[in-house]
Amino acid sequence: MTIKWLTTDQVARNGVKILGYGVGGVGKTTLIATAPAPFVISAEAGLLSLARHKIPGAAVSSLAELGEVWRWVTEANEAKQFATICVDSSTEIAEVLLQTLKASNKDPRKAYGELLDQLMAILRGFRDIVGKHVYITAKEEWAKDEASGAMRFQPMMPGQKLGQQLPYLFDEVFRLIVARDQQGKKQHVICTQADYQYEGKDRSGCLAPFEKPDLTAIINKITGGTK
């Protein structure tokens, strides 16, 4: 068996795939404006924080619509101008899809199983887009980790399994928080590494444990580029 390590050049060609999660108001959606040439796919009504940035995008209200946008992003010539595809948010999409599945299934357990399969498949599709960065947001919840039994902050998704499986799809998993500096001033911070209290991941090894909320700067650190 030959072991091959991904180089920064390969990462730059394939794109950086990021999951960002946190409570409301920490800047998950606003962070989209800092990404290189972003296109936003929104399942939420609240995109007011992006209004002044005039970022192109599409609204979706079902998994079918999300699939249509995925095909446009991957096939249309017009989509070549965008460097970062952003989905805001996977939690909202999962909740809408679950209601649809519950309506067509008498057994709620089957609905949750279908949700896990269908949503993970479409999110893998976005993750595997070649040549584009991908940033997908999720809400946050305080939940029990099945492996350790400990309570941790993690991406919020319907059911017990989906929220814990979602981070495995991504090389970069960021928790967004609002902290206070030494002067007591509030500042938005991105946590890039796991802690006993929250999920996090930086497979690139290029990031500090805490980064400023700037996706272009973070992506350039990972790919070896310059802002």
- 177 found inside a domain: yes
* Res 113: pLDDT: 87
Rounded to an integer, what distance in angstroms lies between the CA atom of residue 100 and that of residue 79?
29
* Res 52: pLDDT: 74
Provide Rg for the chain, Cα atoms: 17
- 2 found inside a domain: no
- 207 found inside a domain: yes
Residue bearing tokens 């096939």: 75
Number of domains in the chain: 1
Which is nearest to 105 in space by CA: 92, 115, 95, 96? 115
Average model confidence (pLDDT) across the chain: 87
- 127 found inside a domain: yes
* Res 161: pLDDT: 81
Confidence band for 227, pLDDT divided at 50, 70 and 90 = very low
- 145 found inside a domain: yes
- 204 found inside a domain: yes
- pTM for this structure? 0.89
Number of H helices, E strands in the chain: 6, 11
* Res 11: pLDDT: 64
pLDDT in tens, 42-98: 876 556 567 677 899 998 888 888 899 999 999 999 999 999 999 998 998 888 888
Rounded to an integer, what distance in angstroms lies between the CA atom of residue 72 and that of residue 158?
27
- Of residues 141 and 100, the one with the higher pLDDT is 141
pLDDT in tens, 7-21: 556 666 789 999 999
Type and span of the H or E element at 200: none
pLDDT score of 164 more than 90: no
- 161 found inside a domain: yes
* Res 178: pLDDT: 93
Q: What is the DSSP string of 76-135?
A: -GGGGG-SEEEEE-HHHHHHHHHHHHHHH-SSHHHHHHHHHHHHHHHHHHHHT-TTSEEE
Rounded to an integer, what distance in angstroms lies between the CA atom of residue 192 and that of residue 200?
6
- 3 found inside a domain: no
Rounded to an integer, what distance in angstroms lies between the CA atom of residue 110 and that of residue 120?
15
pLDDT score of 225 more than 80: no
* CATH number of the domain encompassing residue 34: 3.40.50
Q: What's the domain range around 87?
A: 8-223
* Count of C-beta atoms within a 10 Å radius of residue 103: 8
